[in-house]
Amino acid sequence: MNRFTYWRNNVLISDVKPIKKVPKGGTEHLVYYRILNHEFDESPYWQMSLDESQKFEQEKEEWKLKNPRASKVAYEDWEMGRRRVYNKKIFKLKEEHQRLELKRLNELEKELNNAFGFDYSPINFENFQGSLEDLYFEYKKIIHKFLI
* Residue pLDDT, tens place only, 55-72: 999 999 999 999 999 999
Helix H or strand E encompassing 134:
helix 132-147
Contact call for residues 82 and 58 (beta carbons, < 8 A): no
**Helix, strand or coil for residue 49?**
helix
pTM of the model: 0.78
CA gap 89, 40 in Å, rounded: 24
* Residue pLDDT, tens place only, 24-58: 998 999 999 999 998 998 888 899 999 999 999 99
How far, CA to CA in Å, does 148 sit from each of 27, 48, 80, 144, 145? 20, 47, 64, 6, 5
What is the reported pLDDT for 143? Answer: 86
Q: Quickly state the pLDDT bin for 11 (edges 50, 70, 90).
A: low
What is the reported pLDDT for 15? Answer: 64
DSSP state string for 96-119: HHHHHHHHHHHHHHHHHHHHHT-S
